[in-house]
Structure 1
C-alpha cells in the first residue's frame, strides 16, 4: 500500500438506506406508560452528507457534564472525514481511503457514523430533544447512549437509545442484526421503566449500522420495546400537535440540547450560562452582550455567533476581507496540480425564531436564578430538512439543489456552500435582558 492518499470525487449525493422491520422485545408491563404509541419507521432513510456530519457533531457534544473546551475539540472535521472516507453516489459505500486507516481509527469512525445515523433515525421519528444517558447511573453499568423527548413520548416520559456502527469484514446483515439485538438486551432493556433526571424511561431503541469495506451497500438494524396494543399507521409525528399547539419542551432536555447547539455555533458564553443554571461553577464573569449575525439562507433567517469569527471590531471588514474564515467557509487553497483542498465542516447556525425564543427563555431563567426554573419551555420545533424517511415521508427541502445545508427539528442548521451577501444585520443577547 503506497503512502499517497487518493483524492476521490467527494461525497455529494443523497444516500438512501433501507430500514428493516424492527425486532420488538418483550417487556413487562406493556406499555410502560398507558397511552404511549410508538411511531413506526417507514422502510427507507434518506440523508445528505452535511446532515450526517451535523448529526455526528450533535451526538458528540450531548454531554452536559463534559467541559466546553473538551467538546469544542471533538467537533473537528466531521464533514471532511465523511467526504474522503465515504464514496459518492446514492448507495452507501466506504471509499478506498478507508483502507489507509489503522484499526482504532476505523472503529472510531464507524462509531461516529453509527451515532449519526441513529440520531437521524430518532429525529425522523419525531423526537425533538435529547440528553446524554450517563445520567441514568453513577456507576459503570452498561446503558444506552442518548435519551430523547417530545414527539410521541411527550407528556409520557423519555425514550432511551443505543447506537452502534461497524465497518469491518464481519459487518453482514446478520452480524449487524445480532449486534443490534444484543445491545438492546444489554444496554437498553434493563433501563426501561426506570427514572431519569429527564423523566421516566418508557420505551427503548437500539440502532446498528454496518458496511463492509470494498462492498457497496449498508445494513441497518433496529430493535425496540414491544408494546402489546394496536399501533397506528406509519407516519412521522408532526412538529405541532392537533390544534396547532406544539408540545412544551422539558426544560432539562431543552437546556442540554441547546448547550450543544450554541457550543457548536461557537457561542461559548451561552453554553457557560446554561452550565451555571445546571449548578456548574459561578456565573460567567463577563456580563456583556453576545453578538449574533442574522443571515438569509434557503428562504429562512438564521442566527450565527460572531464571537469566534471576528478578530476585529468591524463587521463590514470581516465580511469583505475574511469571508472565508476557517470557522465558517474556508478559502479554497489548491494542491500543486490545481485541485481544490477541501477543508472545514460548514457553519453551524440556528433558525432565528428558535434562537431568539430560546435566548428569551434563557434570560428569564437567569433572572429567576438556579432554583426557580420552569418545568417546561415554550420553544418551536420544525420538520427536519436534509434528511428524513424516503418516499412520501421525505423531509428533504425542495430547494436543496440550490443550497447545501441540513436543519434539525430544534432549529440548528449546518450550512455548507455559501451564498454571497447573506448577512442582513446583527443582534445582541444580554444574559439578563434578552435579545435586542
Structure 2
C-alpha cells in the first residue's frame, strides 16, 4: 500500500504520511491472527468516505502483492505513462521477468468491503474491471520508451467486516497478443532484466521516497523532467544494514554516525544487490548530461526473490519485493555506510 501511495507525483512528506496513517489503520482493522484476510467489525463503524478511501488502498496493495508473486518487479501509474488518454484506463503498468521481454502489462486494481460481499461479487467486479479498463488497450497501445501493452490483469480483493476469510480474484488476458508470449507469469528471477528507463526511474523515485533518500529522489525527479537542475556534487549517504545474511541500504542524514536503534531507522530499505547497479547506472546518465527530452536509456537491473513469509528458521526478518524494496522488521546484525555521489556512483562500504 505504501508503494502505491509513493508512486504518485506527490511530495515525500505527503507520501510518508499516507504510508504511516494507512499502516496504523490497517493494523487496527485487519485481524492478523490467522492466515486469511479478515476485516474486523470496526470497519463498518467508520464513515462511508473513510471506508471508500481505505478500500481503494487495500485494493492497490493486494494487487501489488499479486503482481509481485507473478514475477513482475517495476511499476508506475498508467496515467503517468499515458497522460491525457481518452477513455477509462487501468491503474498500473508493470514490467519484470514475467513479461519475457515482450512488453509491459496493464493492471486494474479493485476491492469491495461490505457485509454482503460474496465470491461471485468479487469475480464479477474483476471481470468488469478487465473488460472496461484493461482489454481495450491490450495489443493496441504502445508507451514510448516503455513498451507495448501485450497483456493485462484485473485483480479484486473482497472482505466482509467481522467475517473470517476474504476473497480474491484475478482476471488476465487469455492468450498474449505477442508471439511467444504466455497468459501467465512466472516467479521472480535473479538474472538481470532489461527495463525501460522511464518505468525504472519512476519506480525507484517512489522507492527513494520510502527509504528517505532525498538527494536521490531529487535527481530522479529531474530525470523525469519534474524539477529544475540539481548540483551533481551533492551526496546521498546510506546506512548499510545487515539483516540475517542480507544487506540493505536506507537513507541517512550526514550527521548520523552511531549504531542505529529501532526508533531511528526507517523500516523501508533497498536490497544492496539491486541498489548498486541501479545507482551506478543513474550516475552514468547524470555524467552524460542526459535531459528528459533526450529519451532515457534502458536499464539492466537484477530482481530479488520476493519474500512475504517466514524464513526456514520460522523468523520473519523482512518483506521484500522483486524490485529490491524491503520492509525490515528483524534484528539488525551489522551496520556500516555507503555514499552515493551523482557524478561518481556508489562508493565502497565504510565501517
TM-score, L = length of structure 2: 0.88
- The separation in 2 between residues aligned to 1:233 and 1:377, in whole angstroms, is 25
Contact map agreement 2:40 2:163 (CA 8 A) in 1: no
Structure 1 residues without counterparts, runs of 5 or longer: 1-55, 329-346, 388-395
Identify if the C-alpha distance between structure 1 residues 170 and 286 changes in structure 2 by more than 3 Å, giving closer, same or farther.
Answer: farther
Contact map agreement 2:152 2:173 (CA 8 A) in 1: yes
* 1:408 aligned partner: 321
Give the match's secondary structure for 2:301.
Answer: coil
Contact map agreement 2:214 2:236 (CA 8 A) in 1: no
Residue 369 of structure 1, aligned match among 275, 279, 289? 289
* 1:337 aligned partner: none
Alignment pair present for 1:236 and 2:150: no
Alignment pair present for 1:301 and 2:243: no
Residue 273 of structure 1, aligned match among 214, 219, 241? 219
Contact map agreement 1:154 1:247 (CA 8 A) in 2: no
How many residues were matched structurally? 339
* 1:188 aligned partner: 134
Give the match's secondary structure for 2:71.
Answer: coil
Give the match's secondary structure for 1:176.
Answer: helix
* 1:430 aligned partner: 341
- The separation in 2 between residues aligned to 1:127 and 1:402, in whole angstroms, is 25
Give the match's secondary structure for 1:270.
Answer: helix
Deviations 1:292-319 (A, max 9, x none): 1111102111111113xx7xx3512x63
- The separation in 1 between residues aligned to 2:263 and 2:232, in whole angstroms, is 25
Contact map agreement 1:279 1:370 (CA 8 A) in 2: no
Identify if the C-alpha distance between structure 1 residues 367 and 231 changes in structure 2 by more than 3 Å, giving closer, same or farther.
Answer: closer
- The separation in 2 between residues aligned to 1:74 and 1:369, in whole angstroms, is 34
- The separation in 2 between residues aligned to 1:166 and 1:234, in whole angstroms, is 25
Residue 315 of structure 1, aligned match among 248, 252, 257? 257
CA displacement at 1:232 relative to structure 2: 7.1
Give the match's secondary structure for 1:91.
Answer: coil
CA displacement at 1:327 relative to structure 2: 5.6
Contact map agreement 2:113 2:158 (CA 8 A) in 1: yes
- The separation in 1 between residues aligned to 2:286 and 2:231, in whole angstroms, is 14
* 1:101 aligned partner: 46
Contact map agreement 2:172 2:183 (CA 8 A) in 1: no
Give the alignment of 1:208-219 within 5 angstroms. Answer: 208-219=156-167
* 2:263 aligned partner: 325
- The separation in 2 between residues aligned to 1:62 and 1:285, in whole angstroms, is 24
Residue 381 of structure 1, aligned match among 294, 299, 303? 303
- The separation in 1 between residues aligned to 2:86 and 2:323, in whole angstroms, is 31
Deviations 1:267-303 (A, max 9, x none): 1211110111111221235832111111110211111
Identify if the C-alpha distance between structure 1 residues 261 and 83 changes in structure 2 by more than 3 Å, giving closer, same or farther.
Answer: same
Identify if the C-alpha distance between structure 1 residues 231 and 314 changes in structure 2 by more than 3 Å, giving closer, same or farther.
Answer: closer
Identify if the C-alpha distance between structure 1 residues 67 and 190 changes in structure 2 by more than 3 Å, giving closer, same or farther.
Answer: farther
Contact map agreement 1:176 1:220 (CA 8 A) in 2: yes
Contact map agreement 2:38 2:162 (CA 8 A) in 1: yes
Give the alignment of 1:254-293 within 5 angstroms. Answer: 254-285=200-231, 287-293=233-239
- The separation in 2 between residues aligned to 1:397 and 1:361, in whole angstroms, is 32
* 1:224 aligned partner: 172
Identify if the C-alpha distance between structure 1 residues 212 and 326 changes in structure 2 by more than 3 Å, giving closer, same or farther.
Answer: farther
CA displacement at 1:81 relative to structure 2: 2.2
Identify if the C-alpha distance between structure 1 residues 225 and 425 changes in structure 2 by more than 3 Å, giving closer, same or farther.
Answer: same
Q: CA RMSD in A?
A: 2.5
* 1:354 aligned partner: 274
- The separation in 2 between residues aligned to 1:286 and 1:252, in whole angstroms, is 20
- The separation in 2 between residues aligned to 1:214 and 1:177, in whole angstroms, is 21
TM-score, L = length of structure 1: 0.72
Identify if the C-alpha distance between structure 1 residues 314 and 165 changes in structure 2 by more than 3 Å, giving closer, same or farther.
Answer: closer
Structure having greater relative contact order (Cα 8 Å, sep ≥ 6):
1
- The separation in 2 between residues aligned to 1:82 and 1:416, in whole angstroms, is 17
- The separation in 1 between residues aligned to 2:181 and 2:278, in whole angstroms, is 34
Contact map agreement 1:386 1:397 (CA 8 A) in 2: no
Alignment pair present for 1:81 and 2:31: no
Which has the larger Rg? 1
* 1:25 aligned partner: none
Alignment pair present for 1:207 and 2:155: yes
Structure 2 residues without counterparts, runs of 5 or longer: none
